[in-house]
Structure formats: C-alpha cells, structure tokens
C-alpha cells in the first residue's frame, strides 16, 4: 500500500466533501527537526557486531526482515544454537555469534517469508536495541550447512549500520480540541503533568511544569496518554532534550516502539490528533472527518507496518 497514493485519495475525498481546493499534505505544513539526517554509524568490527546480536538474542528482541522493495516486512528473532557439551549432550548457546560463524533466525511471520529465505534472497534486517536502530544485510547459507529444526542458518553480517532513533516523520501540531492528556513518570517514579506541543510516530514535544525539576536528558520515561473516555496509551521513551524557552520548559522525547502493537497504538493516537487538525483547518463537521477516518487510519497503518524502514529513510 502506497502512502502517497492514499494521500491522493484523501485529497480527492476532501475536495468532494468541502467543494473547494485540495488540502495540503500534512508534511507541507508540519514543522520538522532541524537535523534532516540523524548521523548513522557504520560498524565493521565483527566483535562489536556479535556483541549487539548477542544482546538482541538474550533480550528476545523482535527483528524485521524485508526483501527487494521492502514492501512487506516479516517478523523473526535470533535463536540460540545447540552446542555439544559432554557425553553427547547438547545445550542452547549463542557462542556461534561470538565466533562470527552464522546467524540463526526463527521462522518468519507471515510465514511466506520463509520461502524467500529458502530461495536465497538477500534480506535487510532491522531491529531496535538500546534506543537505536540497527540494520544489516544477510542471506541463507548454502544448503550443505544444516539448520536445526525450522530455523534458518544465515550469513553473519559483514557490517551493520546504527543510528539514534530521532523523530523521522511529520510532526502533527497539537490542538487542545484533541483532548489528549499526557503524564510522564521518570526513573525515580516522579510524575509530571505535561502539555503536548506536537506529536509524531517517533516521539513528541511537550511543556513541563514550572514547579518541578525536569527529568535529566537521556533518562528513560514512561508516557501515559489519555484521550476520549476509553483510549489510553502507555509507552516507554527516552527524554532526548530539555530546553528553556521564554520561561517555558520544553521536553523532546522519542518513543521506544519496538513491536507492531505498540506502533499501532501510537498510530491511532497520531491519527486522532491529525484528524482534529484536519477538522479545524478546513472547518469540517465531526461527521465529515469521521467519513474519511478510515483513509487516515489506512495511511498511518501503512506507515506503521514499515516504520523501521521509514526511520532509516525519512526525517519527520
């Protein structure tokens, strides 16, 4: 599903509903981070790559693998291998990673990704670890290298790129009419009632209260978003920056959304905020904006399904 074509459909729907000109693409009027390209670090030291892969294996981190055009991503995980210990006994181990010999990936979800692996297609693997996006290429090893069970024995990556997760999609300005409340809780358990300034799939910007010392930059926080009567989102994140502007304390934070369900929930919140912006910009009724809600949702879910790829290719 192409997000650009979805936006064209939305523009056409908007014209029919309002009877006047085409609406602007949200990216055209949304503010963006000043740094258009988060600095990417290229890792070629196999020992360092092995350490990161072992951490991902130990943490059962969800990996995404895509082929060719990256239209579809498949979920998988790094598995431990069976290692001979004594008297013919075996034990699960990740030593094969330390020895830079291969990767062992589990079956893919959806399952048809397994066929692409068996065909020997080059895959691009992405995963999030420690608040950073990691990416490398790999493919199935020759068939004379056996794989245990239904696992896939893959080439050990020659190199890996790594970059900090910054917001890399359009920021949606927050309107009070959206009715979203935000509470932050820091590592010490202190709670902060914040006011949202803008939000995107990757993070948000907000005002912090004057009567409290803000959390430290780089600290881990939990976000509690509440909107309408039945919608709530609890999301982990990192406070990247705290700024003092004209007497206001402004926080910039990124979300740690490393699985589809978390990203889907963020997408629902961003869709809600964006729909209210659309309603106010074009003086639409709630009924008119609800009529095109599915189109908005489809556009965001398409972005969500490929969010890891988007974070490496776009700037919010």
Domains of the chain and CATH, by start: 3-36+168-313 (2.40.10.220), 40-164 (2.30.110.10)
Q: Do the Cβ atoms of 167 and 37 come closer than 8 Å?
A: no
The angle, 0 to 180 degrees and rounded to 10, between the axes of the packed helices 3-18 and 260-282 is 30
pLDDT on residue 169: 61
What local confidence, expressed as pLDDT, does residue 69 receive? 67
> Around 21, how many Cα atoms within 13 Å sit in the side-chain half-sphere?
4
Q: Which residues pair with 66 in a beta bridge?
A: 73, 124
The pTM assigned to this predicted structure is 0.47
- CA dist 238 and 43 (Å) reads 23
Query: Six-digit token pair at 283?
Result: 């003086």
**So what's the pLDDT on residue 153?**
93
pLDDT in tens, the chain (316 residues): 444 444 444 444 444 443 333 333 333 333 333 333 457 899 999 999 999 999 999 888 889 898 986 657 788 999 988 765 666 666 788 889 999 999 999 999 888 899 999 988 999 999 888 768 899 999 999 876 666 667 899 999 999 999 876 555 677 889 899 999 999 999 999 999 999 999 988 889 999 998 999 998 888 999 999 987 778 899 999 898 888 877 889 999 988 877 777 888 888 888 888 888 777 776 766 665 555 445 445 444 444 444 434 444 443 3
């Amino acid at each position: 599903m192409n997000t650009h074509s979805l936006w064209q459909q939305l523009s056409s729907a908007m014209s029919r509903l309002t009877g006047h000109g085409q609406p602007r693409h949200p990216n055209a009027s949304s503010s963006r981070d000043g740094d258009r390209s988060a600095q990417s670090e290229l890792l070629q030291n196999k020992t360092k790559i092995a350490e990161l892969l072992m951490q991902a294996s130990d943490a059962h981190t969800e990996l995404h693998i895509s082929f060719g055009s990256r239209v579809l991503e498949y979920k998988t995980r790094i598995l431990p291998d069976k290692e001979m210990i004594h008297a013919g006994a075996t034990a699960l181990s990740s030593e094969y990673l330390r020895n830079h010999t291969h990767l062992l990936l589990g079956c893919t979800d959806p399952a048809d990704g397994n066929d692409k692996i068996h065909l020997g297609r080059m895959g691009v693997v992405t995963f999030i670890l420690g608040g950073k996006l990691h990416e490398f290429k790999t493919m199935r090893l020759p068939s004379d290298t056996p794989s245990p069970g239904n696992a896939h024995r893959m080439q050990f990556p020659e190199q890996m790129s790594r970059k900090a997760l910054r917001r890399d999609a359009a920021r949606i300005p927050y309107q009070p009419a959206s009715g979203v409340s935000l509470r932050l809780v820091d590592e010490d358990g202190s709670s902060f009632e914040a006011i949202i300034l803008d939000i995107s799939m990757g993070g948000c910007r907000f005002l912090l209260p004057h009567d409290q010392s803000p959390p430290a930059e780089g600290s881990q926080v939990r976000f509690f978003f509440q909107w309408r009567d039945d919608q709530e989102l609890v999301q982990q994140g990192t406070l990247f920056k705290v700024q003092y502007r004209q007497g206001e304390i402004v926080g910039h934070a990124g979300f740690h959304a490393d699985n589809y369900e978390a990203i889907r929930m963020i997408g629902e919140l961003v869709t809600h905020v964006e729909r209210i912006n659309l309603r106010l910009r074009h003086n639409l009724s709630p009924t008119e904006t609800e009529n095109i809600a599915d189109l908005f949702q489809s556009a965001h879910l398409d972005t969500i399904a490929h969010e890891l790829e988007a974070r490496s290719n776009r700037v919010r």
